[in-house]
Amino acid sequence: MALETQELARGDWKPYFDDFSRDLDRLTASVEVAGRDVGAQIEADRLILTGITYDDRDDVVVIGLDAKGGLTEELEHMVYKPQKIFVASGDDGRTAIDIEDGEGNQTLVRLEPAT
């Protein structure tokens, strides 16, 4: 898969994620967090993505997830004080979003079409 990677400018975060979530196809998401203080951990594995938003007032990216099978279990992963956001997308429908927070932690969101 050939990936095209771009860094999103801070001023584009809110409209990018608003548009992305508004036109959202059925995607599964895996969320991994890595950092000096938190180590490396999997926060979510192949859950259904319900949306990604950037709240510029609270300076937080919110990743909304649902469990498969129509269960009401929901998870919101928050990335506080994001500093940089990179998006890599391929022509096969897969996307990776890499978010660096104010403490140097990396949150990697891997998206792929749900099967």
| 2-56 pLDDT, tens digit each | 678 999 999 999 999 999 999 888 899 999 999 888 788 998 899 999 999 999 9
The Cα–Cα gap between 77 and 52 comes to 10
pLDDT in the model for residue 39: 81
Q: Residues with Cβ < 8 Å from 67, sequence gap 6 or more?
A: 47, 48, 73, 74, 75
Q: How many domains does the chain have?
A: 1
Range of the domain at 53: 3-113
pLDDT in the model for residue 37: 80
pLDDT in the model for residue 71: 59
pTM for this predicted structure? 0.88
Tell me which residue has tokens 């001023």.
Answer: 11
CATH number, position 55? 2.70.180
CB-count burial class (<10 Å; 0-12, 13-18, 19+) for 92: exposed
pLDDT in the model for residue 80: 96
